Amino acid sequence: MRMTQNYVAYSASQQLNSQVGPNTSNVQPMSSTSSPTLRTINQQTTQYSGYSAGTVMQSHGTATQYKYENADLINSSEYGATTQTGQSTNTVNSLSTNTNYNNKSIQPPNSMGTYPSYNLSGEDTNYSKITATSNCNSQLDTNNGRNLANSQNYTQQSVGMPLSYGSSSSNLSYAQSVSMLSNNVSNQISDLYNQVSTLIKSIQTRVDPAQIPRPIYGNITEDECKIYESDKYILPPLSLYESFIQILDRGNSTCNFFRLTLNQIPSQHSILQSMRLPFSVIIQPFPHLPDFAEPIPVVNTSSNIDPVRCLRCKAYINSFTTVSSDGNQCVCNFCGHIFEIPLDYLRVLQSQFRSQVQTCSNVPQIDENYPELSYGVVDYFAPASLGVPINPDLPSYCFVIEASLLAVQYGITGTVLYCLKYLFSQLAASCPDIHISLILFSKDLMLFPLQKRNFKDFENLDEYDISSNSAKCGLFSTRMCVVTDIQEPFMPCPIQELSIPIGENIEFLSDILDRIPELIQSHSTNYSAYFSAISLASQIMAAKNTGGTIFTFCSSAPNIGIASINTKDITAGPKSPPRRTSKGLKYSCGFVSGYIVQNMQQLDNIIQYCRNNNTSVESFILSPTIYDGSKVINNILSCSTLAYIPQHTGGKIRLLSNFSAPKNYQDLYQTLYNIFMIQPIAYDCTFKLRCSRGIAISKVYAPWTAGSSTPDLSAFQIPKIDSHTSIAFILRHEESLDQIKTVYLQAACLYTCKNKKQRMLRVLTLSVPVTTSITTAFRYASVEPLINLYTRMAAHHIISKGQRDLTNTSNSVVSNLTFTSNQSPGSILKSWRQETLNSIIEMLFAYRENCANTSSSGQLILPDSLKLVLVYTSSIFKNPALMPLNTVLEYSLDEQIVGLHTLLYASVGYTSAHLYPRLYSFHHSILTGTPELQQLESLGLPYELTMSNSNSSMYLKLTRFWLNSSLPCSGERVFSDGIYILEDGVNIYIYIGSQVSSNVIREIFNVDFITKENIDTLEVPTNINESNNTTIASRLSNIIYQIRMDRSNIANHLPIKLVSSVTELNEARFKHLLIEDAIGCESSYVDFLCNVHKLVQNKLVES
């Protein structure tokens, strides 16, 4: 079957380019005219995203090849590759190996034991750095380190050029290794580098940074842009690819929904224990799929017909269900029970069985009438037997907005109302039946009921103990009801007046939003009854009885009413700074108090009430920069307390720090727009995970499990699950799997649709092969879900201890490793770090001992599938959310707390993007003339590629904007004459160097210079100009658009942050995101590698 579809990258333009009010500009699809001819870049090799120069790259179980930035391919047989009992050892930078550059491609053996090794030998910490010399032999370089930006010869780590370091005449010259330029031109280029500086000073080490593994993302080519079939791959594609590749469901759930740390399960618990790796599954039930993805099939049954299920274990029938030996019954693939099924199902199963026997294939034959037998992910109409409403009402929404003096004076209240006005107009057109209610709060609670104009209604206001302020609006009366009892708030009006359908009342809502600033003037005070307002909103949602979400917008800590906080008790900073001792940093109690949730019992009552009525809470913290004259006042919010209710009701907490209404209102609106119009959201969720025989669940990590007990590890109920929420389950062996070839996992989630009056049941089924080989298990391990699990465990541990106690001990997922917590405040901050590091050391030691025991002890051996584990681990330790509170000066305490809560539910794609940001070079004003810098001219230009499947004739046309290879995340690669783009899954940073040409600045920002006075008023162009894509402003806009498209599966919206030397705070945060550099007390990535190597060596000696 030939499937043709023209997919244009602008199809989600509403998501990325809708703006508030009159500034809204909808981007139209790209014309079908041919794209400009692009510069051919590196035709000799294919850039594999996720792997850097000089490391081993494996493309989903196919051949392995080496790639260097100068496009020279290295013959592995001459590069130290040896074969040992079916394993090929790729030795990089070995001191005893002669390296020959033959500029040709070979394919080393694709054995199960393929692994790279990195020479970090030496008895002390002075490790060896190897440089390429003219005779192409590996030699030690003993020159002293110096500032590479001011030297005559420049290394690859500083300017992205081929390696040439040192003053020896025998070394390769810069011109020889790049493009054989003339000596005069080479000298001119060297002079240019003398005129610029790097963001940080280069620190010379004896380990070549270019040779160590890191995630390097290149431009997407047709080799990477494939159509994957879920039954064909074992190692899934990288999470970054999910937004622009198609993964076809062929009976096995795709990696969009399931991610495993081990894609082949050891048959024995002893093997898993020897690996020192956790067996975990990360489940994302409702991911945001690309526009070109196949829709999830809906089983064509009525609500009166129950889905076919096993009578014993209750697993749902799926594509792996088989027929019995006599062909007349069904065999459950989860528990092996044989049971009767309807005759039509039996016929389909028999037909599939005959087809598989004839074709020698395990792929089920697709029957569109029975998608549950052909697809790994299906939706059912919820059956009546589950005891739930079949056709529920649409979820309702309540908006709770702070109206204190702080919020009003800094324009926050007006900005939220302005955004809601235009959001409501969108909702009225797309989903007119949803119900909306409004609450504003300060010292009192203010509501705006809808009533027909009848003046008799105003005579009885005193009965409700409320005051009113009335005005006429057409057929309705516009009035404000004020509830003054904030300790026991109540509904002053019938629910029909407080929660109203948006479609037929959009004029009333628009008018009231315009009039609210005038109506609340006399009620704005310095008080904030935040939790009282949530309590009242939960009563409205309970009376409506439809479930839904309470959206809160606050700017200050709640200081009156229910669960009020005494801001004097909030520790904005440590009572004393940490003291360095012989045993490390010793922390004061002030570091721990920032994690504590205040008034927890009162908040638990609100949470229980919300969960009983299927209501989630979504919080937006809009914190302005408060000035007292020229002094900035710290706005204390206690985000640990504010995040507690969203955490346990399926909501999120979002912090917009340094909020400025003129600058940030579009970011706020775009986030709200994407939540309501783009993001898949499921309400009133009941979730269950089933495992086949021999496998069981040992622990679950989800936001609502932190700090609370979980009686049933396999099931939970939560008011809401959105597209960015994932749940981690730790699995264990219950019995030996020696006689089993495959184990199965099935997740079932009963939910209510966001935009349809329908109760649905989503069933996801996954099969996982079983192996008896520890080498095979290591080979098919996956680093991204492993890092997601370690990050989630750290956040879970810290939040749990902060919310409950500091005296318990929690078991680690790795045997003999525990989070040890006692009454020492520092233990909450360091136990997770030590456990994570120990786990990595144990894993590398286990791999060395079981799979590479004949290798030299002077080499650091990494499993090929886990070669990025160390760079991600180093990044975890540098993540500001996981560092001690208030020790990261670039981030406030509240920003660290919100980041910590984000990690509780983060998807695999988010953690990968957040822990190792993508850094792109966009422009250089001084450094010009080299081939790599000339390639920057192609950045942002449109091009087309074809997404195809080699096993079939299916293909899709995809239009993208050109992105060059990302740079290593280090300040040594950031030059003062350049413009750089960095994104971390949260923000997009545009770095403007101090030596960027004023002409370029004028073209982008319409000013000659960036100063401290004007930088807050500058706007980065984000509207795509189809008529002229060649200007620097248009190309920058295109790149921002493409990055947002690539990250649409992990983030609602990526705000833009301008970074310059005049913005001290943003520049400090930009530097903190360059995670390969030393940050605070954490060492650089190179030093971390050397330290890990030394620790592994010590274990080898001890053993």
Q: What's the rounded Cα separation, in Å, for the pair 549 and 97?
A: 63
> CA 448, CA 503: separation in Å to the nearest integer?
17
Q: How confident is the model at residue 1030 (pLDDT cuts 50, 70, 90)?
A: confident
CA nearest 90: which of 70, 72, 69, 108?
108
Give the model's pLDDT for residue 97: 30
559 Cβ contact list (under 8 Å, min separation 6): 527, 528, 565, 566, 567
From CA 464, how far away is CA 562, in angstroms rounded?
A: 21
Q: What percentage of the chain has pLDDT greater than the value 70? A: 71
Instruction: Kindly state the tokens that stand for 936.
Output: 């920057």
Q: Residue 810 phi/psi, 5° resolution?
A: -105, 140
Question: Residue 469 has which token pair?
Answer: 């302020």
**pLDDT at residue 2, as a whole number:** 34
β-pairing verdict for 727-733 and 695-701 = antiparallel
Pairing of strands 82-84, 87-92: antiparallel
| Residues 541 and 548 sit within 8 Å (Cβ to Cβ) | yes
Flag whether pLDDT at 1076 surpasses 70: yes
Give the confidence band of 37 by pLDDT, cuts at 50, 70, 90: very low
The per-residue pLDDT for 1049 is: 87
909 vs 105, more confident: 909
In the prediction, which pLDDT does 584 show?
52
pLDDT at 1057 over 90: yes
What pLDDT score does 811 carry? 37
Question: What CA–CA distance (Å, rounded) separates 675 from 845?
Answer: 45
Q: What is the pLDDT of residues 160-208, one digit of tens each?
A: 222 222 233 333 333 344 444 445 555 666 676 778 888 888 877 778 8
Confidence bin at 355 (pLDDT 50/70/90): low
Which band of pLDDT confidence, cut at 50, 70 and 90, is reported for residue 950?
low
For the chain, the average pLDDT equals: 77
Q: Provide the pLDDT for residue 1004.
A: 93
Torsional sign, CA 955, 961, 964, 965: negative
Of 1100, 935, 928, which Cα lies nearest the Cα of 997? Answer: 928
Report, as an integer, the average pLDDT of 848-869. 87
Residue 926 gets the label, from left (phi > 0), alpha (psi -120 to 50) or beta, of alpha
The predicted model scores a pTM of 0.81
- 653 close to 898: Cβ distance less than 8 angstroms: yes
- Which burial class, exposed, middle or buried, applies to 1080 when counting CB atoms under 10 A from its CB (0-12, 13-18, 19+)? middle
Q: Which of 65-79, 457-471, 671-685 has the lowest mean pLDDT?
A: 65-79
According to the model, what pLDDT value does residue 1058 have? 94
The mean per-residue pLDDT over the stretch 403-414 comes to: 95
Look at 30-44, 245-259, 364-378, 804-818 and tell me which has the smallest mean pLDDT.
30-44
User: Residue range 86-96: average pLDDT?
Assistant: 34
Strands (E) in 692-758, as ranges, are: 695-701, 715-722, 727-733, 742-753
For residue 46, give every residue at least 6 positions away whose Cβ sits within 8 Å of its Cβ, in sequence order, or none. 221, 223, 224
Q: State how far the alpha carbon of 720 is from the alpha carbons of 511, 647, 687, 707, 717, in Å.
A: 31, 11, 11, 19, 9
The pLDDT-based confidence of 833 (bands split at 50, 70, 90) is confident
Compute the distance between CA of residue 956 and CA of residue 293 in angstroms, rounded to an integer.
11
Highest-pLDDT range among 413-427, 594-608, 875-889: 413-427
Structure token digits, residue 100: 């020959």
Write down all domains in the chain, each with its CATH number in brackets: 56-211 (no CATH), 256-288+682-781 (2.60.40.1670), 322-374 (no CATH), 396-564+612-678 (3.40.50.410), 565-598+791-845+863-916+1085-1103 (1.20.120)
User: Please, which pLDDT band fits residue 430 given cuts at 50, 70 and 90?
Assistant: very high
Q: Give the pLDDT mean for 439-464.
A: 70
**What average pLDDT does range 870-894 have in this prediction?**
87
How confident is residue 218, by pLDDT bands cut at 50, 70 and 90? Answer: confident
Strands 615-623, 653-657: parallel, antiparallel or unpaired by DSSP?
Answer: parallel
SS3 call for 192 = helix
- Kindly report which listed range (256-260, 322-326, 859-863, 1062-1066) carries the lowest average pLDDT score: 322-326
Q: Is-contact 546 501, C-beta < 8 A?
A: no
Higher pLDDT, 291 or 691: 691
- The per-residue DSSP string of 947-991 comes to EE-TTSS-EEEEEEE---PPBPSSGGG-BTTEEEEEE-SS-EEEE
Measured CA to CA, the distance from residue 753 to residue 731 in angstroms comes to 30
Q: What pLDDT is recorded for position 884?
A: 77
Quick check: 85 pLDDT over 50? no
Q: What is the pLDDT of residue 68?
A: 28
- Is the per-residue pLDDT at 909 higher than 90? yes
**Confidence bin at 634 (pLDDT 50/70/90):** confident
